[in-house]
Structure formats: structure tokens, C-alpha cells
């Protein structure tokens, strides 16, 4: 009998291209629409491949999937998967690589420009009061310092987009420093930047990285942009920094809980420009996400290794 591949949740993307690719390569495919571990365990009990969106894949779920050999994610990061538990059980964890670097970087820079030019305010005032002006008003981009927290592919792409437009670019990260970026410690980047842009994965080390203590050192009137993961920022501390005018505003594509519950402080904050986790989205990226997720599984079946592994099993299947 053909091997079983199970999709957990895929949200607003169409799984059809991935399903077709898997079926063309001999898999039986089952498409769910759930993040519930019990439903996943029941449907995927015989699966060798799990194609996951935002469904959490923890040790308890892995223990209920004895035939599983690969978890292929619909993202670049692995914060929804217990990677250590997976590798200990001989399960590969794979991601989509650099599928949407261009889209995410463009979205981050677009949000940055929207904050600097106060487009959130003017888009409304043009329909309500033509002569209304915000306080604080727009700022001159060439006088501002951009601070990049994370200098991977996305952060580097933002640096390239910003080059020649801002006064200076500071950057904090573990990798090579991109051209035109002055490397600096995290504390210095936060304290000396007018525009802060986050480009880090969410890990145990980076969770809550921007907390109350660090935000208290931000340059007064600075702006924060986050298109990475909501958990990088202490939400209550960010709301407090906005309330106190330490930060003039924030543009967020991600929150701790998505969609946000009623009464969420950041989602309803007048100084927050919010987009609904769409930084990755374009027609091309939507197609490539789905196909790359499936290609990881196909490549693993053909070669014993996915195209974009995040972690290699301790004991190979």
C-alpha cells in the first residue's frame, strides 16, 4: 500500500499543487483542517509524512505517530515543533527555506515607510478631515538610523532595500554583516536606532527578547517593525512603551495569538499599524510554499533527506 502523507492545517493556501505532487510520486494523501492533536493522531496514525502548518507537533503527538519519518513545515522556522523530540524519534524536520524572503523583506520595509510617513493616519484623515495633521508628524527618512535585529537573509534584504535612503544602518546578528551595515551589540542597536526591525526566529533564546528593560532604553520616538514572530516581543511591555510615548508607533504583522482575541491591547492600540500575518504572501510565494513543503517529502523519499532540513534525526530511519 502507498505511504500516507497527511496535511494538518494549511489555512489560506491551496494545497492542491502539493497534493498532486505527492500523489504523482506514489503517496496517498489526506488533507485535514485542524490543529487538534487528537484529530491529527487519529487521521495520521499510519502516516510516514506529516505536512504541518501552525499545528503544534510535540512529543505527545509524535508518540502517537509510530510510523512518522518526516515533518515538513509550511514555514521557515520550527517554533511549532519539538525538534529535539522529533530527532530523538528518528524523524526529520524540514522547512521551506528562502521561499518568501523577498516578500517578507518588502513587507517589513513597506511597513517602515508607512510609519515614517504616517500613512496609517493620512489614509483615514483624507476621508474624514482633509486638513488634519498628526502629532508626531512624518519624519525625513534620510535623517534616521535603521536598526536591524537579525542579519540573516531577510534582514540583509531589508538592508539592501534601505541602503541609500536612511542616514545609517546598524545591525545585530550572528551571521556575516551585510554591506552597508555597521555591526553593533543588541543594546546599542536598540538605543541608537530610530527604526527597529526584527528579523529573528522564535526560539527559547529569543522569546521575549524585547522586554520592558530593553524597550526602556529605546531612543524616544522610535518605531518598531515586527514581521517575524509575535513572541519575540513582550506584548505588555510594548503596549506600555507605546502608551508612555517611548515608542512613537509600531507596525506588526505578527502577534502572540493569531487571530487576536477581543480586547487584545496591541491589536486595538491606536499607535499600532497591524497586518494579518501576510508578510510572506504573494501569488508566487503562495504557490512556492505549498510546492516546497511537498518537495521536501518527495526528496526525502527518493534520497533519504529532505531539501531543506532543519534538523537531522539522531538515528536515521
Contact (CB, 8 A) for 86 and 93: yes
**Which pLDDT does position 238 carry in this prediction?**
99
The β-bridge relationship of strands 92-94 and 309-311 is: antiparallel
Give the residue numbers annotated as catalytic, written as ranges: 229, 258, 277
CA distances 232 to 13, 220, 227, Å, are 25, 21, 10
pLDDT digits (tens, 9 = 90+) for 157-183: 999 999 999 999 999 999 899 999 999
Q: Residue 311's pLDDT band (boundaries 50, 70, 90)?
A: confident
CATH topology agreement for domains 3-99+283-311 and 101-274: yes
CATH 3.40.50.720, applies to 3-99+283-311: yes
Residue 317 has pLDDT above 70, yes or no: no
**Which pLDDT does position 77 carry in this prediction?**
76
DSSP lists the bridge partners of residue 92 as 70
Contact (CB, 8 A) for 162 and 182: no
- Residue range 48-53: mean pLDDT, rounded: 97
Contact (CB, 8 A) for 284 and 258: no
Number of Cβ within a 10 Å radius of residue 282: 14
Write 183-191 long-range contacts (CB < 8 A, 24+). 183/151, 186/149, 186/214, 187/214, 187/217, 189/147, 189/148, 189/149, 190/147, 190/149, 190/214, 190/215, 190/217, 190/218, 191/217, 191/218, 191/219
Q: What is the pTM of this model?
A: 0.87
Mean pLDDT rounded to a whole number for the chain: 96
pLDDT digits (tens, 9 = 90+) for 94-150: 999 899 999 999 999 999 999 999 999 999 898 999 999 998 999 999 999 999 999
Residue 239 has pLDDT above 80, yes or no: yes
**Which pLDDT does position 79 carry in this prediction?**
82
- Residue range 260-281: mean pLDDT, rounded: 96
CATH superfamily of 101-274: NAD(P)-binding Rossmann-like Domain (3.40.50.720)
- Enter the DSSP assignment of 292: H
pLDDT digits (tens, 9 = 90+) for 57-78: 999 999 999 999 999 999 887 7
**Which pLDDT does position 315 carry in this prediction?**
63
pLDDT digits (tens, 9 = 90+) for 285-308: 999 999 999 999 999 999 999 999
State percent of the chain over pLDDT 90: 91
- Residue range 244-265: mean pLDDT, rounded: 96
pLDDT digits (tens, 9 = 90+) for 10-39: 877 899 999 999 999 999 999 999 999 999
Q: Where are the domains of the chain?
A: 3-99+283-311, 101-274
3-state DSSP call for residue 199?
Answer: coil
Amino acid at each position: 500500500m502507498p505511504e500516507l502523507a497527511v496535511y494538518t492545517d494549511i489555512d489560506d493556501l491551496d494545497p492542491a499543487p502539493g497534493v498532486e505532487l505527492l500523489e504523482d510520486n506514489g503517496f496517498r494523501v489526506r488533507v485535514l483542517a485542524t490543529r487538534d492533536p487528537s484529530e491529527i493522531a487519529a487521521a495520521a496514525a499510519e502516516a510516514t509524512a506529516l505536512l504541518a502548518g501552525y499545528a503544534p507537533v510535540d512529543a505527545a503527538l509524535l508518540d502517537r505517530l509510530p510510523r512518522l519519518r518526516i515533518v515538513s513545515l509550511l514555514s521557515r522556522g520550527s517554533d511549532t515543533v519539538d525538534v529535539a523530540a522529533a530527532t530523538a524519534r528518528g524523524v526529520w524536520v524540514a522547512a521551506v527555506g528562502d521561499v518568501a524572503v523577498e516578500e517578507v523583506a518588502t513587507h517589513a520595509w513597506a511597513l517602515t515607510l508607512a510609519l515614517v510617513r504616517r500613512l496609517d493616519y493620512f489614509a483615514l484623515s483624507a476621508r474624514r478631515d482633509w486638513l488634519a495633521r498628526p502629532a508626531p508628524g512624518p519624519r525625513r527618512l534620510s535623517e534616521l538610523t535603521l536598526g536591524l535585529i537579525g542579519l540573516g537573509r531577510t534582514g540583509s534584504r531589508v538592508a539592501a532595500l534601505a541602503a541609500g535612503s536612511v542616514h545609517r544602518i546598524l545591525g545585530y546578528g550572528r551571521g556575516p554583516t551585510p554591506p552597508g551595515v555597521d555591526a553593533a551589540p543588541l543594546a546599542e542597536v536598540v538605543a541608537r536606532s530610530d527604526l527597529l526591525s526584527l528579523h529573528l526566529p522564535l526560539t527559547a533564546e529569543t522569546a521575549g527578547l524585547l522586554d520592558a528593560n530593553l524597550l526602556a532604553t529605546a531612543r524616544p520616538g522610535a518605531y518598531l517593525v515586527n514581521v517575524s514572530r509575535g513572541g519575540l516581543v513582550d506584548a505588555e511591555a510594548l503596549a506600555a512603551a507605546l502608551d508612555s510615548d517611548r515608542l512613537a508607533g509600531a507596525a506588526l504583522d505578527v502577534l502572540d495569538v493569531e487571530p487576536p482575541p477581543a480586547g487584545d491591547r496591541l491589536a486595538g492600540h491606536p499607535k499600532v499599524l497591524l497586518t494579518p500575518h501576510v508578510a510572506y504572501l504573494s501569488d508566487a510565494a503562495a504557490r512556492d510554499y505549498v510546492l516546497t513543503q511537498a518537495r521536501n517529502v518527495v526528496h526525502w523519499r527518493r534520497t533519504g533527506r529532505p531539501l531543506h532540513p532543519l534538523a537531522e534525526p539522531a538515528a536515521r530511519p
